[in-house]
Chain A
Amino acid sequence: MDKWFTYIDGVWRFKFDTNSYSASREAAKACRFFVEDDEDEQTDDHSQSCFNCLYRRWGLNCFDCYKKVGTS
């Protein structure tokens, strides 16, 4: 997962921006913890995308993954 995330200040931060759909989809495809969030909170038409995941928390620039934290 290090291809897509960096460990910063105690959280795993997505390395890309909010328009990086390919990276978000690739990361979700490779992740065994992916769970789709409420449909109204999704921002990618492709369902299996970290942008749509229950365990992402949006921040100022993009999102942090909270499931990955729990498994690190």
Chain B
Amino acid sequence: MPNPDNDLLRKALAKAVAGLTGSGRLDVVEVAADGVTSFKIMRDDHGVPRGRRWHTPWSDLAQDREALLRAADVDPDDDTVLVCSSPGSSRADQAFEWLRATRPDAPTLRVDDSIAALVTEVLGADPLTRSYDLVVLRPRTDGTLELATVPLFPVQARPGATTTMTLHCERGGPNGTAFAVVTWQGHDPLLLSVQSAALPPGSYEITAELRRPGRVRFSGLPTLSGDPRGWAELIAEVPARLPSRATGPGHLICAIEVCGAEPKVAERVGRARQVVSTLSNLPGLSVSVVAYGAHSFDRSVKDHRVEVRAWRVDVSTAQSVLDELEERGPITQGYPYHPHAAQLEDMLAAVDRGLAGDPASPVALLTIGDRPPHPPKIDNSRVLPCPSRHDWRAVVAHLEQSRNVVFGAVVDYQVGDKLPRVWQLLGSAALANFDALDIRGLTSGLGLTSDAVPVPFPLIDVE
């Protein structure tokens, strides 16, 4: 049967705790049979009420008023509640009177039992003064990721409240996927708790339960454990893009610029070989090798045609073709071949022709080169027009829209340089620097392999 005195005290304490704002403090002093117990309660940065408790036995107080007041440590600016849990004891009554005289404004209550458990109960039942959100990542349409939050519990939510949501999890790295709960200080998130687990990639229906202020439990997942990472560490692990997943065995076309200096041509072929070798364990992959050079602009020297050296061959055959290509070296070099542009537009047209007769399958075009294409007609670039008047922009758009080609490129560029539009398009799915080739990133960007980049938070709005 509930004790009416305890109910009164619970309500009084709950009201006093609810009234705590900002840096305000609540002092609760219990005069008990064995001494004086003080509780100092204040809210932390998340609005969670936290209490500190200390006990001073009668033996240390020696019936001394000043000693009692020092032990109770009642601050004149703090809200105060005075409780006597040992009524009838002359020592306790005396002490209680001294305290009442010191803070005549404070509510006073008399109960039969120690109040420590009741204070804990009141703090655990305090409704939220800040909303709680879960940190997630949201993919944008271009594949990049933005940090977002999902609301868990609003202000005034009480322990026992639940929220259920469906989240997607990718591989989360060594610490697993972090379920980070934040409150807000203005527009800035403040990390309340982080729990993590290594989860198999996939979708999860997750229920978050508010256990008490400051404590959220997630169910629908393997057991989560505490994660020592701070906010900065977690944010630092967020990748720029949503990791790509392999689209399955398809068709990789390696288009290689084979004009210019011999060492550079050899390096380009070498980069193609590196990529192809990485994919040697990919069953069912077919590879094509296309070589293109520079146009001749002297009527006495016949223009070289783009060479389709191999079309839809296996990895082993492609490697042999690349060996031959490297051995042969540049096909066009010096005058009268154009020194600053290449037959990129003719290569694209040749790829388009080749794909026209192929069965539909995922196609990745990896272009390894540097020079720009020739425009279909004179433009501001002053690069001479393509003799066949191929329009590289139109062919790229056609390959993308009608042949479902994804584009990757290995280009010699300096980070920070403005990349020419053609290479932005030809590297739209995967762009690698010639001198710092990330093969894994390249192949995953092209959809040939899965991405190894960990994603530290759950994802929402994943199609």
A and B interact: no
Identify the B interface with A (CB < 8 A). none
